[in-house]
Structure 1
Amino acid sequence: MKRQRTSWKAGVKKRGSCAPVPCLLAATGARSENLEPRTGASQFQDAIRTLNTLQTNASYLEQVKRERGDPQAQLEAMKGFLERSGLKVEDLDQLNIIHVTGTKGKGSACAFTERILRNYGLKTGFYSSPHLVQVRERIRINGQPISKELFSKYFWQVYNRLEESKVSEHPAMPAYFRFLTIMAFHVFLQEKVDLAVMEVGIGGAYDCTNIIRKPVVCGVSSLGIDHTSILGDTIEKIAWQKGGIFKPGVPAFTVPQPERPLDVLRERAEKSSCQLYLCPDLDAFEEDGKPLPLGLAGDHQRSNAALALQLSHTWLGQQGYLDIGELKAPWLSSELPAKRSPPLAPVFKPGEAMLQGLQEAVWLGRNQVLHHGPVTWYIDGAHTTSSIQACVRWFRKAALNEEKPADGSEVRVLLFNVTGDRDTAALLKLLLPCQFDYAVFCPNFTEVSTVGNADQQNFNVTLENVLTRCLQNQSHWNRLMEAKEGTDPWLSASPEVEGVAGWLKQAPLHGPQLFFPPSARPLNANSLVFPCISKALQWITQGRDPHFQPPASRGLHPHPAASSGAVLLKEAATIQVLVTGSLHLVGGVLKLLNPSLSE
């Protein structure tokens, strides 16, 4: 039976499909004495600090070791945690889920999709990761992070229910990401959203979001090489993991992919009795060759927008908000497509709500430009080969469009960091065409001490090992510059591997702002390493960004490049800064440049 259609401007009638779960509500009054949090802001901070302890849950780490050879056990464990929290897997069917995976662009595709559907008057839930500034960003209702009050409420409901239902033979608590996923399900059910857009964490097949049984529609954004230690070292293996979200009878869409991973996706879809379709290019939806305006910059966002159109259009058709006659959906047939290659999804005329959704979509930290006086920030969390390539294309195009100073005094700076098992040298090589005057490397910490900044605490790393990684990145960059320009590098072979702990002992954390090997004094290398984002921004901006006014620097920089660079930065008519790599780095930069994001 079709649902009543309504104007997207007038909104839709509330369906009330997501009834509160009695088991969870009962848990709210059963909080243990020793877990009783305080009220207001203190309650929220207590929740964040308690959540952070799940990053290094010792019993969970032991469980991961046991389950490493049996990924299916991870999903079974997730189901167990879900049930202990007061939900059954079947309860998730009420959420009318759109499930999206991919290597790059899946967050942007989700952002486009959520914004489109919100324009139809629907109450949307949106679960994504990682967060940039505050963990509340991961769980959104109607595009906004849930309030601190709601976060605290649902955190303690779920946490205490899990605490009270623990048994000795299993870990008491799920790890950080699993916990937040379970919490998101509770939030969306209790707050009665009309739909939930769920972004996969890593992979798909064994990602904890894959306990979802019956999504309305699935999507796969562009594939590439990332998280190889978990997903495999070939794009085919990665495609196999991503295709693990396909479900019987559930339509799925993907953007154009290389032939081999596309074959893997098709095979996964066939084995799952899932009907997979290729998204037509966005130009198929454009009239008279006039490009559709998108809220997210960069040519690569066009494929994400095309995926979002199919996901939202299909969801609206399947849920009865569009006439079936309008949809003309080939997946309504009981037979799977006979073609070896996935067929193209139907082209339709996007309505006003869809067009406005594409134009109004916002996704911070992705192809974002901030004009702060003489300093222009280009911010894009890109940490794979393909996403860095897209970032370079976007940055060069955007920078070229900026008005040049009459005297030509323009300084271009790279701020970069990556984590995990990524090939930093390969990523940095792709950035060479941007012709940076300086390359700056720092960890993802906003300050050397993260006390009081619980949202960005990471107990799984130490200052020593992240600084070692930054020095390795600097070494890679200097070698690339040497090869490009034929100059002598000032760094000796792998000096960063030894002596980092010694430098930290010799220099207190509030002391020198710049790290360099004492055995190799720099001569003219234009690369610098700072111990935190704040110190890096302080040097880059030299007090010229009206949105970032740090305290006066203590002492002089011993690095010649730092001293000469400071003069150039102070005198330049314009400073262009590309911030790229880790999304955690991007989040730290945004937090410092726009403190309101922390409110």
Structure 2
Amino acid sequence: MGSRRRRVLQLLLLQRLGRAPSLRAPRAAGDPWRARRHFSARLAPAPRMEYQDAIRTLNTLQTNASYLEQVKRERGGDPEAQLAAMEGFLERSGLKVKDLDQLNIIHVTGTKGKGSACAFTESILRNYGLKTGFYSSPHLVQVRERIRINGVPISKELFSKYFWKVYNRLEETKHADHAAMPAYFRFLTIMMFHVFLQEKVDLAILEVGIGGAYDCTNIIRKPVVCGVSSLGIDHTSILGDTIEKIAWQKGGIFKPGVPAFTVPQPERPLDVLRERAEKSLSPLYQCPDLNAYEEDDKPLQLGLAGDHQRSNAALALQLSRLWLRRHGYLDLEELKDPWPNPELSVKRPPPLAPAFKLDNAMVQGLRETVWLGRNQVLHHGPVTWYIDGAHTTTSIQACVRWFLQATLNEGKPADGSEVRVLLFNVTGDRDTAALLKLLLPCHFDYAVFCPNYTEVSTVANADQQNFNVTLENVLTRCLQNQSHWNRLLEAKAGQDPWLSPSAELEGVAGWLKQAPLRGPSLFTPPAVHPLLNANSLVFPCISHALQWISQGRDPHFQLSDSRGAHPHPMASRGAVSLREASTIRVLVTGSLHLVGGVLKLLDPSLSQ
């Protein structure tokens, strides 16, 4: 959609809603990005226009939606040809693939938990006094979060410096035989290599973007060690529609002679990983459970909540230990090659890597790991926010277990007036109905749906702009999500789950043309079941959703005028008013982009 039409839709939306109120929130003390170590990093000076110009220019290189479409088109091709294209971009930027060998890389893939495993690994190695580089995706609030040194996102000045250096080199080397510029994620990957090499990190931890074999991070030739976190079904249109096909893609990061570790996996995908490892002559080992490292039944303290983080921590211990051994920090024996003669090997699972005694740096690294937006709890007066970027079936299941346990530990208020709210959005080709069904055991009183836009009133923050989806598209998706939720509740209550498709999706454009609202900034399609709509709502942006949920009761999210006091909609029998409840528990999940927008509003210091 052209920028003019997009702006027209935004204006129509504003006419419908009225201008979004300005927000006033106290600045949080300290730096939430700062890793809890003795390393110091001076806060960046006031942002300069250079940074915002860099982000806006970066956004013109396509956002993740376009990159996914590109990967879909290329998926059936030769991975070597695709990586050759990446190599061409790298050389145009001034680097050769062999230069990347200097980075002492730890390469990690997986469906869920790979970012957490990388965060644990980075924290452990930083506790040995090493200068760490960490590349991850997506970002929550600012794009520079993707490139970290010593656990802290690079400064706006450093981001601007390296962005323009790489961008200008690529612009200067354009000619007929080369594509003009790499796409968004490829560009950031190339830029990351420049940052880590020139800032002279001791090691670089790279989280795979999508899959493995086709991912642009897989241009590297000689990582020190590779890791595979838990596998599951995600990005099926890109990676394949079975767990075996997905495992094949993930195993594409294995390299000859480079040891690899995996957490326990189901039998079939584990067989695929083993076969990929054997063919690539990569020694593959399974990680023992974390309890193998715990002495006297004393559990290790992890900086990340949730039982599912234990396997990520166990993977991080093996990755860290091997890296330290290879670089002379630990005097340990080499692991035995699991298949010295692959031609004579029989089908058997990869051997179990040995557990070992943890030193203080490892214990402290696990305890001090920080990874925002994953199993994160914010206590804001009577409102408690439970924030987790889960977006696959298995990660939503883990999120539900964590949420139920966390709320159980908190206990019910003395007067029993507790309200539970779900704030949800989902993107891509994921099965929304399946994900929402998994959330039913949480017994939410209200379900709120909104796009990943922080605000709709003005030009969005450049770090969170997406030029590949329209306002109409994302609002329609929210209405679909609401309809799925309503049907699930109706089915659960034994009612007729059928809703007219025309009622479900009665054009968002038609909704935009209605007369302006007089009251709360929410909307519901007019033909959907009225009772259920009292308990499920759709908002045009995250800000409006938070205003309604908090009802002015979150001391960290205060409004500048009375427009924040949204009237409470009619509730189903037995529900407690948000304005009367002594405790409001809000689970935010379904999308890391949604989580990032929520954190941006609840903690403005993350934008500095």
Distance 1:248-1:439 versus aligned 2 partners, 3 A rule = same
Task: Say which of 208, 217, 227 aligns to 1:200.
Answer: 208
* 1:499-545 Cα deviation digits (max 9, x unpaired): 21111132569996212123447234311110000000000000000
CA deviation after TM superposition for structure 1 residue 70, in Å:
1.5
Equivalent in the alignment of 1:15: none
Amino acid at match of 1:330: K
Whole-angstrom distance in 1 between the partners of 2:57 and 2:132: 28
Partner of 2:33: none
TM-score scaled by structure 2? 0.87
Once residues 460 and 103 of structure 1 are traced to their aligned partners in structure 2, the CA distance between those partners, rounded to angstroms, is 24
Q: Which residue number in structure 2 is paired with residue 44 of structure 1?
A: 51
Match of 2:436 in 1: 428
Matching residue within 127, 130, 150 for 1:142: 150
Contact 2:551 2:578 in 1 (8 A): yes
User: Displacement, 1:319?
Assistant: 1.4
Q: CA deviation at 1:172?
A: 1.2
- Cα 1:40–1:183 change in 2 (3 A) is same
Q: Which runs of 5+ in 1 are unaligned?
A: 1-8, 12-38
Match of 2:386 among 370, 373, 378: 378
Q: Does the Cα contact within 8 Å between 2:418 and 2:576 map onto a contact in 1?
A: no
- CA distance 1:65–1:290, shift in 2 (3 Å): closer
User: What is the aligned counterpart of 1:583 among 586, 589, 592?
Assistant: 592
Q: Give the aligned partner of residue 596 of structure 1.
A: 605
Measured in 2, the distance between the counterparts of 1:456 and 1:509 equals 27
For residues 545-580 of structure 1, what are the alpha-carbon distances to aligned partners after superposition, in whole Å with 9 as ceiling and x for unaligned? 000113446599799447999970011000000001
1:237-260 deviation digits (Å, cap 9, x = unpaired) = 000000000000000000000000
How big is the shift at 1:487? Answer: 4.3
Alpha-carbon separation, structure 1, partners of 2:38 and 2:529: 67
Asked whether the 8 Å contact 2:547–2:564 carries over to 1, the reply is no
The answer to whether structure 1 residue 81 and structure 2 residue 75 are counterparts is: no
Map of 1:571 onto structure 2? 580
| Cα pair 1:490 1:521 within 8 Å, conserved | no
**Contact kept? 1:468, 1:496, Cα under 8 Å:** no
Q: Is the 8 A contact 2:66 2:468 kept in 1?
A: no
Q: Check whether the contact 1:491–1:522 (CA below 8 A) recurs between aligned residues.
A: no
281-290 or 513-522: bigger deviation: 513-522
Provide structure 2 residue ranges, at least 5 long, that are not aligned to the other structure.
Answer: 1-36, 40-45
The Cα offsets for residues 3-37 of structure 1, whole Å up to 9 and x where unpaired, read as: xxxxxx999xxxxxxxxxxxxxxxxxxxxxxxxxx
Q: Which residue is 1:222 aligned to?
A: 230
Give the paired residue count.
Answer: 562
Q: 1:549 to 1:57 in 2, by over 3 A?
A: closer
**Contact 1:127–1:199 (CA under 8 A) maintained in structure 2:** yes
Alignment of 1:356-367 (within 5 A): 356-367=364-375
1:352 equivalent among 354, 357, 360: 360
Task: Give the letter for the 2:133 counterpart.
Answer: G
In the TM superposition, what are the counterparts of 1:382-531 in structure 2 within 5 Å?
382-449=390-457, 451-487=459-495, 492-493=500-501, 495-506=503-514, 513-520=521-528, 522-525=530-533, 526-531=535-540
Q: Which residue type is aligned with residue 556 of structure 2?
A: H
Cα distance in 1 between the residues matched to 2:339 and 2:490: 60
Q: Once the two structures are superposed, what CA deviation does each residue of 1:290-346 show, in whole Å capped at 9, x if it has no partner?
A: 1111000000000000000000000001111111xx344224996669562100011
Letter in 1 for 2:235: H
Does the 8 Å contact 1:367/1:378 carry over to 2? yes
Contact persistence 2:61–2:181 (CA under 8 A): yes
The answer to whether the 8 Å contact 1:119/1:353 transfers is yes
**Bigger Cα displacement from structure 2, 282-291 vs 244-253:** 282-291
Distance (Å, rounded) in 2 between the aligned partners of 1:139 and 1:555: 36
Could you tell me which residue of structure 1 aligns to residue 42 of structure 2? none
How far is 1:74 from its partner?
Answer: 2.2
Q: In structure 2, which of residues 107, 115, 126 is the aligned counterpart of residue 118 of structure 1?
A: 126
Report the CA distance shift for 1:138/1:61 in structure 2 as closer, same or farther (over 3 A): closer
Return the alpha-carbon distance in structure 1 between the equivalents of residues 93 and 519 of structure 2.
Answer: 47
Q: Which residue of 1 aligns with 2:11?
A: none
Q: Tell me whether 225-234 or 402-411 shows the greater mean CA deviation.
A: 402-411
User: Cα RMSD over matched residues?
Assistant: 2.7
1:369 and 2:371 aligned: no
1:127 pairs with 135, 143, 152, which one? 135
Is 1:540 the equivalent of 2:540? Answer: no
1:355 to 1:327, Cα distance in 2 relative to 1, 3 A: farther
- The structural deviation recorded for 1:498 is 3.1
Partner residue of 2:250 out of 221, 229, 242? 242
2:116·2:312 contact (CA, 8 Å) conserved in 1? yes
Q: Distance in 2 between matches of 1:305 and 1:502?
A: 50
Shift of the 494–59 alpha-carbon distance from structure 1 to 2, 3 Å rule, reads closer
Contact 2:445 / 2:575 at 8 angstroms: preserved in 1?
A: no
Residue 76 of structure 1 and its aligned partner are, at CA, apart by 1.5
Between the aligned residues of both structures, percent identity stands at: 83
Q: Distance in 2 between matches of 1:390 and 1:586?
A: 16
Deviates more, 1:487-496 or 1:378-387: 487-496
> Structure 2: how far apart are the matches of 1:317 and 1:236?
32
**Separation in 2, partners of 1:204, 1:181:** 14
Residue 357 of structure 1: how far off its partner (Å): 0.4
Aligned match for 2:186, one of 168, 175, 178: 178
Q: Residue 153 in 1 paired to residue 172 in 2?
A: no
Selected match of 1:97 from 81, 105, 112? 105
Cα deviation, 1:486-507, whole Å, max 9, x if unaligned, reads 3467954452333211111325
Instruction: Tell me which amino acid in the other structure corresponds to 1:587.
Output: G
Asked which structure has the greater RCO (Cα within 8 Å, sep 6+), the reply is 2
Structure 2 residue identity aligned to 1:244? G
Supply the AA of the counterpart residue of 2:336: P
Greater Cα shift, 96-105 or 497-506: 497-506
Tell me the distance in 2 between the aligned counterparts of 1:164 and 1:278.
47
Change (3 A) 1:58 1:414: closer
